[in-house]
Amino acid sequence: MSNRSIIIMVLVLVGATAYLLIKGDGNIDMGGEKHGAEATHVEEAKKDASTAAPVAPAAAPAADAKK
């Protein structure tokens, strides 16, 4: 590979990374696993789940349909 193609590849990867970081919510936590009072994402997930629409029950298996 020539130096020019490597530079172009690096610029494309930097551009893609910048695009994903800008379009994302920007709330990236690289601190690892949290426990105790620091683990606030559990409460947020429960809040989101309670406001979501209820899920329809699964269809009956084919074996039960024959009866």
Q: Dump pLDDT digits (tens) for 2-33.
A: 999 999 999 999 999 999 888 887 677 778 88
* Single-letter residue type at 30: M
Structure tokens at 35: 């426990």
Q: What are phi and psi of 57, to 5 degrees?
A: -65, 150
Mean pLDDT of the chain: 75
Token pair, residue 18, equals: 């910048």
Distance (Å, whole) CA 15 – CA 9:
10
Q: Taking the complete model, does pTM exceed 0.75, yes or no?
A: no
Say if residue 46's pLDDT is above 70. Answer: no
pLDDT at 24: 83
Tokens of 24: 């994302």
Q: Calculate what percentage of the chain has a pLDDT beyond 90.
A: 25
Q: Is the pLDDT of residue 53 over 70?
A: no
